[in-house]
Structure 1
Amino acid sequence: MGFGDYPADYNPKVHGPYDPARFYGKADVPFGQVKLGEIGAWLGRRNKTPNALAGAVSRAWWRWQHKYVFPKRAGIAPFFQLTVASMTFFYLINYGKLKHHRNYKYH
């Protein structure tokens, strides 16, 4: 699978039109239904390659787009979500500088 190709498990005759927000691989138990003793085996079945990580991020992005941005009557929620995400990101990258400006009491 190269950059820009369909996933290897995608079959247009079976799945219909391609949806970038859908995982076309073999279905597994959802994380919410995994028992504590099975977490190690469940994590061992995950594909941990860079391509798999990029695919997961891409699917999450497209799911977010389909839910909040693409509907005909989309509200203001995606703008607030991006604002809060960017504020959190910039706070985290500047935390080392900001922690020196705390107000300490010396008594």
Structure 2
Amino acid sequence: MAAGPSCPPSREPLGAAKVLLSPRIPCEQRRLLPGGGKMADRPVPVKDLRLMDVKLGQLPSWLATGDYSPIGIFNALRRGRQRFLNKYIYVRKGGIGGPAMVITAYVVISYIWSYDHIKHDRWRKYH
């Protein structure tokens, strides 16, 4: 990828200059970003906010923007199911954590099931 023309130097502090000088955003597009390429807090419509980002005073208007038709509820349930599957079922990278939890659970459950027998043998040995 050929480097484009260099951008004029920024008069922003060093932290903002790193964003402005990012090679992934061309100079023309950096000038179009709010604040000259910095991350800016622009007002976001209430309907586009997530529940945890909604302030208490905005809650009634946020709830009013929902789609409560049967198709809207069905789509919401479908999105929730897809998020669950993507997070817990369709895991791309496996590690030692999953099999370790299964083996640990097996050992603990086996011990609990046979605890009375183990306890009985322990008392028998010493008396």
- Is TM (by shorter chain) over 0.5? no
Query: What's the TM-score, normalizing by structure 2?
Result: 0.35
Q: Which has the higher contact order (CA 8 A, sep 6+)?
A: 1
More helix by share: 2
Q: Which has the larger radius of gyration?
A: 2
